[in-house]
Chain A
Amino acid sequence: MSEAVSARDGAIGLVGEATVADWFALLKPRVMTLVVFSGLIGLLLAPGHLNPVLAFAAILAIAVGAGAAGAINMWYDRDIDAVMRRTARRPIPAGRIEAGEALGFGIMLAVAAVILMGLATNATAAALLALSILFYVGIYTMWLKRRTPQNIVIGGAAGAFPPIIGWAAVSGDIALLPVLMFTIVFFWTPPHFWSLSLWAHGDYARAGVPMLPVVAGARSTRRQIGVYTVVLVAASLLPWLLGLAGPVYGVSALALGLGFLACAWRVLTDRQDAAGVSQTGDRPARAAFKYSLAYLFLILTMLTVDGFLR
């Protein structure tokens, strides 16, 4: 193990001598929050009963599985993380954790998470968890991310798996409602990330990541945000229209969707130059990004509330 000394914020940084917080940061805890939340919603809405200990183990397995995928992602993306301002301080590019250690950590946690899910619940949930990890690492990180501006559209499926996994943990199968939850998270991902990339595209351009604003320009990205938001709002109403959720969810989904459409409209009509570059510091895109986070938490919460009321 290397013991090269590097200065970081006036603190002493020793390669291979990372803090507990550095190892935890490898798990992408902010992404994990969303994954745990949507997995919990799937688990709560599924028919049947799961012992609380097993339910806790299932949620822990989903969280650890997502964290493992995040660690392997940081291992693979360490070269582009080093040149992006937003990610340059992550443990690997900052030199606090060696790349090989992060890879080993991620693989070990991924295997442990799938085994835990299998032991605590059933083979279907364990297989879906394994599939979601492989999808995030193999399809999104290694294949799509550096090749196509559609990276987050297809790759977004990886983040949409948890409600199905939570549902399968209880019921042992897959039904239409968790598939619709998957669809909602799937169509939510593009407007969420493209709003962020509208003002962070300098980072992606430096790293050579073909995010939509880098490849197609800001104007096209604003249009795409609008299109995907319309599709998202339509998809969000399906549980209600198909009779799988009641009016409490339906009215909430409609109100939240109208709010999202308003945000997308403001992004589209933001004061901009001929290339579509914002003259307002991308204020509408920043607002849309924040709104999208609240939107997903609220719409899934209302689906659960509605489920308990029915």
Chain B
Amino acid sequence: MTTKPPHLSLAESEALQRRRRARNWAMLVVLVGVAALFYAIAMVKMAQHGHL
């Protein structure tokens, strides 16, 4: 159960939570994507320099 800020109605509070959740998921996707991309770049660069 979530507590709502006193100055917001229940509907507003739920909309706020939905937006925050969507933003957090998007941030997770971006972070995982960036980590995977940098890992792939490192692998390619190491292979190009004969370290793999």
Contacts and interface: CB of A to CB of B under 8 A. Distances in A.
Interface string B24-45: 0010000000000110110110
Contacts of A3: 5, 7
Interface of A: 3, 5, 11-12, 14, 17-20, 23, 51, 53-54, 56-57, 60, 116, 119-120
Given A5-B8, A5-B12, A14-B16, A54 B44 contact: yes
Interface of B: 5, 7-8, 11-12, 15-16, 19-20, 22-23, 26, 37-38, 40-41, 43-44, 48
Nearest to B24: A20
Nearest to A20: B26
Contact of A57 (B11, B16, B22, B37): B37
Nearest to A21: B22
Contacts of A53: 40-41, 43-44
7 contacts: A12-B11, A12-B15, A14-B16, A18-B23, A19-B22, A51-B44, A57-B37
Given A19-B22, A116-B37, 17 more contacts: A3-B7, A12-B12, A12-B15, A12-B16, A14-B16, A14-B19, A17-B16, A17-B19, A17-B20, A18-B23, A19-B19, A19-B23, A23-B26, A51-B44, A53-B40, A119-B38, A119-B41
A120 B48 CA distance: 12
A120 B41 contact: yes
A123 to B, nearest CB: 15
Contacts of B8: 5
A18 B8 CA distance: 16
B23 A60 contact: no
A109 to B, nearest CB: 11
Nearest to B38: A119
A14 B40 CA distance: 39
A56 B36 CA distance: 13
Contacts of A11: 15
A56 B37 CA distance: 9
Nearest to B47: A51
Contacts of B43: 53
Contacts of B41: 53-54, 57, 119-120
A6 to B, nearest CB: 11
Contacts of B12: 5, 12, 14
Nearest to A119: B41
